[in-house]
Structure 1
Amino acid sequence: MEQNKTSQAAATATTTNKRKRQRSKKKSTAPNATASASTHALDASDASVPTPDVVTSSPGVTDPTPAPETTKPNPAEDTQKRNPKKRKIDDNNRNEKELNNNQDQDQQEETQEGTEVTVLEELPLVTNEKLGEVQQGIPFTSLEINEGTQKALADMGLTSMTQIQSAAIPHALLGRDILASAKTGSGKTLAFLIPAVELLLKAHYKARNGTGVLVIVPTRELALQIYGVTSELLKYHEQKTFALVTGGVNKAAEEEKLRKGANILIGTPGRLLDHIQHTEGFSVKNLKLLVIDETDRLLEEGFEEEISSIIRSLPKERQTMLFSATQTRSVRDLSKLSLNTKPYEVHVHSNLDVATNTGLEQGYVVCDFEKRFQLLFTFLKKNSKKKIIVFFSSCASVKYHSELLNYIDVSVLSLHGKQKQKKRAATFFEFKNATFGTLICTDVAARGLDIPAVDWIIQYDPPDDPKEYIHRVGRTARGINGVGKALLFLLPCELQFLKYLKQMKVPLEEYEFPTSKIANIQSQLEKLVSTIFYLNQSARDAYNGYLRAYASHSLKDVYNVNNLDLQKVARSLGMDVAPRIDLKVTPTSRSTVRYTKPINSGPPHLRKGRFSADNPYGERDANDKRQFIH
């Protein structure tokens, strides 16, 4: 009996072990089967994707079906699984400001805010590896925002978010501070305007509440552009007010708008600070959100003092968003001053192989002074039905080339910093709404401006540094599927600039233009400039402006004004003789100006060796290289 019981127990144990092994075997083989199936699917799909050789042989044809990619895990989904109450907490957060007048509910809000902090800390930090194709193309309808805002986005023809939008907007809606950088043309404007509008809606802002959102930008044109987008976004929110304040316009009219109340205020630093300090009836004490767009350029242009003064006048309890195209040490320093909490950081492009948009074809041409204008003239003539932006280094160069090209029947528009604001605004919107045409401009149009369907970016005068190059070419190939072309003019002595571009991951190819196809108009150009007085005067101003801008370049190993043949420079502008000029110029860019003690400062007894009224001849030492200009 005991033997039978023992044998039955052994048989039962054996059967149990077999069942366990079978179950474990099924579990272990299931993932392998899935992986194998997915591998075969990728192999099959790869067979339908054109090889690089096929694509190269047909440069004008692209496959409309994108190559399938492996699906990367979405960290946000994992977070939602770990936090099943997240949606409920977000709903409570949306209702907090609507209930802020009830003291009993205020206590409940404090509890909810404490819970929200825990959820926010667990939200994943978005990096480039996690963005990629996973978060690009997410529909705006997935956002829990007001129906009127959704309708406005649909009217604007916008259905899907860009990377910077899908990464920043959800966290901005939760009230977090944002520190973001992305390529130009990536959709940064909506990334801060949508949360701004939602904040005002949830807080039930009225005109009498004053300014709730402040947007600071570096240029008038960018302010105008953001103002236009704000107008479209508030199409179904008529009770919300907004205003624009910039230099160059009637300040009294701006003051009247501010007294009536502007829920969203957009402006440039100088004029904003002026209104904050001097306009009666205008207050920022109820401000809830500060946005600084193109932060890097604001700092490069020397607006640190104005921005710091504005920040000091704002309430400390607020949300702040900083957006820029590049992350610099100055931007980091400003973030420490303006951000009250640890920000949520979004850097869309820092780890990509190229710094410019993938739909952008870029090239350069090596061209000496004798052929520069002739090449530009030929190019514009042959591409008269394209939309082209041509960059120059000085306002005087823009003015001269605009007058010259229009005189010889090459119709162009001009935009530069010395124009009156009304003229600048009219030119900007005329070119923006045009289907084709040419705009010649300075770097005032290089940042932030969203001009649709630009075919070519021509950099007739090269930029000061690679970052400025990136901002210039960012006027084309904008958006997710944007395409465009860029051409950089370089002198033979400026080829060193290509090394700096390579370090910034900017791919360029050399273009060659047959000399036989370039219009030979040099003799006609010189005759024209010598006989027409206003063109001759503009040419002289352009000559001075070009050389002064060249001497102020920061990359002295690339741009050395002493390497230029001044006679050739003059001929490229249609003058047969080079005007005299003092090349000892001060930098024109505010970012490069540094304080130096005046040479005649201090008491007379300490002025030894310096030129002054007390010491007209000076006492030069061995290192003194100053010269008189005769």
Structure 2
Amino acid sequence: MTTSQKAPEAPEAGPSQEAPAREPFSSLELSEATSKGLADMGLSTMTSIQAKSIPPLLAGRDVLGAARTGSGKTLAFLIPCVELLHRMKFKPRNGTGIIIVSPTRELALQIFEVARDLMAYHSQTFGVVMGGANQRAESEKLQKGVNLLVATPGRLLDHLQNTKGFVFRNLKALVIDEADRILEVGFEEEMKRIISILPNENRQSMLFSATQTTKVNDLARMSLRPGPLHIDVDGEETTSTVSTLSQGYVVCPSERRFLLLFTFLKKNLKKKVIVFFSSCNSVKYHGELLNYIDIPVLDLHGKQKQQKRTNTFFEFKNAESGILLCTNVAARGLDIPRVDWIVQFDPPDDPRDYIHRVGRTARAGKVGKSLLFLLPSELGFLRYLKQAKVPLNEYTFPAERIANVQSQLEKLLQKNYFLHQSAKDGFRSYLQSYASYSLKKIFDINALDLAKVGKAFGFSVPPRVNVNLGGGKAPSGTKRRRGDLDDEEEEVWEDMPLGEGADDDDAEAVMDEEEGQQHESKRGAGKARRIETLGKKAVEKEKYRKGKERKQMKQSGVQWSQ
């Protein structure tokens, strides 16, 4: 569990490791169109969840499946769905024959992409609907006939209730993916209404969930026919993560956390790395800081508009190397190829979140590595990981190998107003997020030395911040109102449409005009309030000062050395 070893600076190169004796897709007697699509995708053999799920699904059985992230679950339900449409010779005039419900826009978009590749040689139509987009354009596509539809719950319910000409009476299969996640983010009532509206006569259903909770079982009873086939490939494994994933942790005091992260990223610039943080503001600050000191990074978090998130997702997905800083918005379900390292700079407080994070690498039999940062006071978290069947080794980083850039960091923040403000927001958000952890005995806000924590954010003296130490996480299954906690991740669940045949450029071009107008309205109102309070002259002076500081920021430079 805690064997100590020197931490590798980069993963060793080597051939992909795959489980022995994997069954070929050719054994399934799939249609020629599907077989050609799989061949173009470079796939010839099945993962465990695919081998266990596809044959009974092709035979018409209902399935309740559990599989770890990165197991190939998406194709496990897409192949039977596409084959069903092919066998029944669905045409656009027949309407929607398959509905796939996904909890988030990113995951829905990913399923849509896989479906597009798989259906490249099929004549059936496919599309995806998500909230916040031009509903009229979506309605027109549905009226023309979308045979396979990927949707998020809120927008799907909206179309089912309000779109005239949306033909779903011929529905043959319903897929609920990441059912536990759908319920976690508060779509329980929407799912009940969706299931009550959809026809259930001769409808095949499949539900996939990483965890089996009471609410998931209730949803399964509502959506599946009696006697579904239970498939749990995780129960057969001795570990909760794939065998091709090398996992380690490092014990690092608060004041040296950024120095170690800086050193690690500097050594792995040619690799593909995802770094997880606990709050949006912390991602924002570290992204600005690292880009400023010539470590190029991308950032992804729930406070960004969907267009920005989509652009970032595709840029990192298609890159051969790069660094992505993110919150848990990217931790579940998203399939980003060739990720070498997962770094959990801020640990989660639930082993399930840890497992979902590291699931972004070592996918589909490929190798990968992960590194977890822990404070000395957080070592008790290892017990929970051990109980969750997560194998970890302790990594050690020699002190002389860690770049000591602390003085440069502090000088930079003293000179740069904007980075200083961003660091202050990140510092406050980190503390507020820490205070909300459920494992209070391990992640104890009162045990933190705030002066040392401030050092990691670049402060020689920690700033005064207003931290709500009484703040806690909302109960599972409830939705937070936007703005309840500034530092916690705001996931705007649905606001980007993609229809049949849409491409990446279409995805990136879509923007929620209504949200933009509301933002402009709020910004104008804020400026009016400042003018009313301070006077117009004072506000204009403030604008001039900030513009001057922005110019100075570009001109100033600090030499970062090791």
TM-score, normalised on structure 1?
Answer: 0.71
* 2:163 is aligned with 1:304: no
Contact 1:209 1:263 (C-alpha < 8 Å) held by counterparts? yes
Distance 2:464 2:52 in 1: 55
**Count of aligned residue pairs for this structure pair:** 468
Partner of 1:293: 177
Q: Give the secondary-structure state (helix, strand or coil) at the position aligned to 1:149.
A: helix
Deviation at 1:590, TM superposition (A): 6.4
Q: Give the secondary-structure state (helix, strand or coil) at the position aligned to 2:236.
A: coil
* 2:97 is aligned with 1:208: no
Distance 2:16 2:269 in 1: 29
Contact 2:431 2:467 (C-alpha < 8 Å) held by counterparts? no
Partner of 1:229: 114
Distance 1:500 1:340 in 2: 36
Q: Deviations over 1:398-449 (max 9, x none)?
A: 1111111101100001111111111111111111111111011111111111
Structure 1 residue identity aligned to 2:429: G
Distance 1:515 1:439 in 2: 26
Deviation at 1:518, TM superposition (A): 0.9
2:79 to 194, 209, 213: 194
Q: Deviations over 1:150-202 (max 9, x none)?
A: 11111111111111111100100111111111121111000000011111112
Q: Give the secondary-structure state (helix, strand or coil) at the position aligned to 1:476.
A: coil
Q: Give the secondary-structure state (helix, strand or coil) at the position aligned to 2:370.
A: strand
User: Do the aligned partners of residues 248 and 418 (structure 1) sit closer, same or farther apart at CA in structure 2, a change above 3 Å counting?
Assistant: farther
CA RMSD between the two structures:
2.2
Deviation at 1:492, TM superposition (A): 1.2
Deviation at 1:509, TM superposition (A): 0.8
Matches within 5 A, 1:461-472: 461-472=346-357
Distance 1:454 1:191 in 2: 22
Partner of 1:554: 438
Distance 1:530 1:277 in 2: 56
Partner of 1:347: 232
Partner of 2:527: none
1:145 to 27, 30, 42: 30
* 2:346 is aligned with 1:477: no
Distance 1:443 1:370 in 2: 24
Contact 1:301 1:590 (C-alpha < 8 Å) held by counterparts? no
Partner of 2:532: none
Distance 2:328 2:105 in 1: 13
* 2:168 is aligned with 1:284: yes
Distance 2:447 2:467 in 1: 15
Matches within 5 A, 1:24-173: 137-173=22-58
Partner of 1:331: 216
Structure 1 residue identity aligned to 2:124: K
Partner of 2:504: none
Range that drifts further, 559-568 or 247-256: 247-256
Distance 2:153 2:471 in 1: 24
Deviation at 1:340, TM superposition (A): 1.9
Distance 1:483 1:193 in 2: 25
2:303 to 411, 415, 418: 418
Structure 2 residue identity aligned to 1:242: F
Q: Give the secondary-structure state (helix, strand or coil) at the position aligned to 1:286.
A: coil
Q: Please, which runs of 5 or more residues in structure 1 have no aligned partner?
A: 1-58, 67-131, 596-630
Contact 1:446 1:472 (C-alpha < 8 Å) held by counterparts? yes
1:407 to 292, 295, 300: 292
Structure 2 residue identity aligned to 1:510: E
User: Do the aligned partners of residues 408 and 563 (structure 1) sit closer, same or farther apart at CA in structure 2, a change above 3 Å counting?
Assistant: same
* 2:460 is aligned with 1:460: no
Deviation at 1:246, TM superposition (A): 2.0
Distance 1:433 1:64 in 2: 19
Partner of 1:273: 157
Structure 2 residue identity aligned to 1:406: N
Q: Deviations over 1:206-253 (max 9, x none)?
A: 11222111111122111111111111111111x311111223533333
Partner of 2:462: 577
User: Do the aligned partners of residues 324 and 410 (structure 1) sit closer, same or farther apart at CA in structure 2, a change above 3 Å counting?
Assistant: same
* 2:256 is aligned with 1:386: no
- Rg comparison, structure with higher value: 1
1:516 to 355, 377, 400: 400
Contact 1:551 1:587 (C-alpha < 8 Å) held by counterparts? yes
Partner of 1:367: 252
* 2:427 is aligned with 1:543: yes
Distance 1:382 1:471 in 2: 25
Contact 1:248 1:421 (C-alpha < 8 Å) held by counterparts? no
User: Do the aligned partners of residues 169 and 569 (structure 1) sit closer, same or farther apart at CA in structure 2, a change above 3 Å counting?
Assistant: same
Q: Give the secondary-structure state (helix, strand or coil) at the position aligned to 1:591.
A: coil
Matches within 5 A, 1:240-251: 240-251=124-135
1:492 to 371, 376, 380: 376
Q: Give the secondary-structure state (helix, strand or coil) at the position aligned to 2:476.
A: helix
Q: Please, which runs of 5 or more residues in structure 2 have no aligned partner?
A: 1-10, 481-562
User: Do the aligned partners of residues 295 and 274 (structure 1) sit closer, same or farther apart at CA in structure 2, a change above 3 Å counting?
Assistant: same
Range that drifts further, 521-530 or 149-158: 521-530
Distance 2:363 2:275 in 1: 17
1:320 to 177, 186, 205: 205
Greater length-normalized contact order (CA 8 Å, ≥ 6 residues apart): 2
Deviation at 1:594, TM superposition (A): 9.1
Contact 1:302 1:590 (C-alpha < 8 Å) held by counterparts? no
Range that drifts further, 567-576 or 163-172: 567-576
